[in-house]
Amino acid sequence: MKQFLLSLAGLFAICLVSIASPVQAQGFVRADHKQIVDTKGNPLILRGLGLGGWMVQEGYMMGLSNLKAQHIIRHRISEIIGRKKTEQFYRSWRDNAVTKADIDAMAKWGFNSVRLPMHWNLFIKTMPGHKTNGRMVWNEEGFRRVDALVGWLKANGMYLILDLHAAPGGQGHDIAISDRNPNSPSLWDSHVNQAAMIALWSEIARRYKDEPTIAGYDLLNEPNWGFQDSHDKGGCRETGNAPLHDLYERTIRAIRAIDKNHMLIIEGNCWGNNYAGVLPIADSNTALSFHKYWTPTTQESIEPFLKLREQYDMPLWNGESGENTNDWYIRAVALQEKNGIGWSWWPLKKIGRGNPLEIKENANYRRLTAYLHGEGKKPSAKDVFAGLMQLARDSRFDRNIHHQGVIDALLGASRVSGAPN
């Protein structure tokens, strides 16, 4: 999550072309030129929280920023307690970290949407191969959890944005975000991985094409890759972005062959900030998502994105922001809503402060993290397993530390402004 808000003026020399328009179904959130509108066609400001850490654990969210990626954390844990008990912990974590109580609370607080970061391996069990007759074998756990989440949100009149946070192979050099293994082909180095991403979105479209609780499909979280220059690790100096544009177009065609209802959301290179060569996209029901961290809360700070909204006649959505102070939150939300931009704050909960909910660490877990930081002796397998299972239980809503000040900072500005819901 190393986002950088670029000054994009002058980078875009692409002329606006006519954009194909899919047939619109009634009853779905959609992109209507420069606005996101609700099922009745009224302007909609999405005010949401991201469920980061539930399906994809970034190291810093677990007090293990030194290990970065989930697969590394998982491997180090399994070295101590074994694979079977490691899987038991992760399943308990997924059972507890997000439940109906979390969604009910978000609705009560005043949020109207949730962004779900998805890990491909919770949806794809086996890639196509000789043992599968060339077919993808789906992992039903991911879909089962999405189904449950849809039900909780529907009961509260809230929306869901599905976000492919960890794509097959991984979409960037920042490995914590996408759980990328640098020793294996990336998303960009493998036609198989790209085909798997497209197949996954096609399957999501097949299963959810008639579900209006889902507001949109966020096709690829924070790509960060230098296509023209391998030294440009984050893709912030990229001026072409041809592989990213091509993958978006192929994914959109596959989705639209099945699902003409849902709004699509695209993110630029450089952690969702560099759109050179990415636009235009040949689909009118598409929104542009930028991510904003640690940058000024001035009109000038979002001006490059406002210009893109005007140039390409498409709505903006701030898909990620956060990890800052309450004062910054107040100013950032006010800035965005003044400009008609919805947002999703990152995250709902993690180990550490700065978010609405905080997961408590226990003594055994602290001994594990100290060891994994190289700062303590190796704890026993029994203590590590006990600490992990307690951490999973403590990830539940009723065991979290609640930070009402964060909630007030995020929603206070919208209550005062009277912006549309």
Asked whether the CA dihedral 336, 116, 170, 281 is positive or negative, the reply is negative
Q: Per the domain annotation, does 198 fall within a domain?
A: yes
For residues 195 and 309, what is the distance between their CA atoms, to the nearest angstrom? 30
Domain contains 383: no
Asked whether residue 373 is domain-assigned, the answer is no
Tens-place pLDDT, residues 216-269: 999 999 999 999 999 999 999 999 999 999 999 999 999 999 999 999 999 999
Task: Give the pLDDT confidence score for residue 135 in this predicted structure.
Answer: 86
Asked whether residue 188 is assigned to any structural domain, the reply reads: yes
In this prediction, residue 130 carries a pLDDT of 66
Whether 322 maps to a domain, the answer reads yes
C-alpha pair distances (Å), 154 with each of 27, 158, 295, 402? 13, 6, 34, 24
pTM: 0.92
Q: Are 278 and 296 in contact (CB under 8 A)?
A: no
pLDDT recorded at residue 414: 54
Indicate whether 162 belongs to any domain. Answer: yes
- Write the DSSP string, 211-269: -TTEEEEE--S--B--SS-TT-TT-TT-S--HHHHHHHHHHHHHHHTT-SSSEEEEE-H
Number of domains in the chain: 1
Q: Which ranges of the chain have pLDDT less than 50?
A: 1-25, 416-421
Q: Write down the pLDDT at residue 17.
A: 30
The pLDDT, as a whole number, for residue 132 is 75
The predicted pLDDT at position 343 comes to 98
Backbone phi and psi for residue 27, each to the nearest 5 degrees, phi listed first: 90, 10
Q: Taking the CA of residue 350 as centre, how many other CA atoms within 13 Å lie in the half-sphere pointing to its CB?
A: 25
Q: List the CATH number of the domain containing 315.
A: 3.20.20.80
Residue 130 inside a domain? The answer is yes
pLDDT at residue 128, rounded to an integer: 77
Domain that holds residue 153: 32-347
DSSP E strand boundaries for 146-270: 159-166, 214-218, 263-267
Q: Is residue 52 part of a domain?
A: yes
Which two tokens mark 402? 């609640």
CB neighbourhood size of 233 (10 A): 13
